[in-house]
Amino acid sequence: MEVKKEDRKRRVPVLFPENGFEKRNWFTEIVRIPMIWVLDVLPIRIGRGLFLMFSGLKGDTRTVFRWAATYRALECIYTFWERKSNGETNTSDNFWQTFLNNARAIRNRLKVLKQELTKAIQEVTGRNGRVNLLSLGSGSARGVLEVVNDLNGQYSIQVRLIDASRRAINFSKELARIYGIHDIEWYRDWVQNLGEYCEDFRPDVVEMAGLLDYFPRKEALKLLRKIFQVLPPQGCLLVSNIIPNPEKRFVSRAINWPLIYRSPRELVELLVGSGFLETEIKVVEEPLKVYALAVSRKKVV
């Protein structure tokens, strides 16, 4: 079930998914909030030392710190609960992966993405009988691959993935092999060159979760306009952005993972500025309100 909130300034519905997500426990929040405040004001060296303390050479916090802003850090966060259930995490891993809302929200974002991507694929298939799906800054492409795997051949889906990292692409290929998925093409390139990959492959759905967090406004608008141009009428873009939150300073300084934070309203304004109509945009905020995912459909007037 989703609870809808009306924002008069944006006139864009903001949806809050309810079931199956990591949420706030207000009892523990009473302790967590002052601890976050303390972490935020600590000198960088001390905050970093606390984050890495007891991690071990292969602990989650050391992996996230070393590989911040890459697929490896995200994979470490995505797979936490599975690894924990297999006894593959330590006390430090268990604390930070559940203490920091940013880590929990990344896992929530993956769930929101999968839900909305499934809906988009089903909608396009009902209209066209097939789907061309383009993922930009795809990284491991875990969300895309898990959705394709879950749909289990019910739909005709052709996938193209673009990422600048050779390691991310190789990891994604191995993940696709594990899932037994074959109709995928990988391209190692900058996402700004997406146009040359859409000349013979016009995407019905474009997925870009997490990448906009690294683009300043001018570059973000330029990229979003390119996406708008390659989408056909009724084509769909799924794009997320991190929302300003109390852990911003600690994540940026101590974990060394600087991001560009935007409110849901600012995300919508970027999309409108790139050509999407406000009436064709919806925003889904994961329950911790650290990430917002916008689903935008191209309507030509």
Q: Please write the tens of the pLDDT for every residue from 132-159.
A: 999 999 999 999 999 999 998 889 999 9
Q: How confident is the model at residue 8 (pLDDT cuts 50, 70, 90)?
A: very low
Q: What was the pLDDT predicted at 300?
A: 74
CATH architecture group of domain 107-247+258-297: 3-Layer(aba) Sandwich (3.40)
In this model, does residue 4 exceed pLDDT 60?
no
pLDDT at 2 over 60: no
Mean pLDDT of 23-34: 87
For residue 163, which of 108, 228, 222, 209 has the smallest C-alpha distance?
A: 209
Which pTM does this prediction carry? Answer: 0.94
153 Cβ contact partners less than 8 Å away, ≥ 6 residues apart: none
Q: Which residue has the tokens 């995407």?
A: 203
Give me the sign of the Cα torsion angle 91, 96, 99, 101: negative
Res 98 pLDDT > 50: yes
Sheet holding 157-163, edge to edge: 2-5, 14-17, 281-285, 291-297, 236-242, 205-208, 131-136, 157-163, 184-188
Stretch 173-180: mean pLDDT, rounded?
97
SS3 208: strand
* CA distances for 129 relative to 124, 156, 233, 235, 237, angstroms: 7, 7, 16, 14, 19
The torsion angles phi and psi of 174, rounded to 5 degrees, stand at: -65, -40
Mean pLDDT rounded to a whole number for the chain: 93
pLDDT given for residue 153 in this prediction: 81
Most confident listed range (29-33, 57-61, 126-130, 260-264)? 260-264
Instruction: Name the more confident of 22 and 29.
Output: 22
Instruction: Give residue limits of the domains in the chain.
Output: 23-104, 107-247+258-297
Is the pLDDT confidence value at 1 over 70?
A: no
**Separation of alpha carbons 203 and 182, rounded Å:** 18
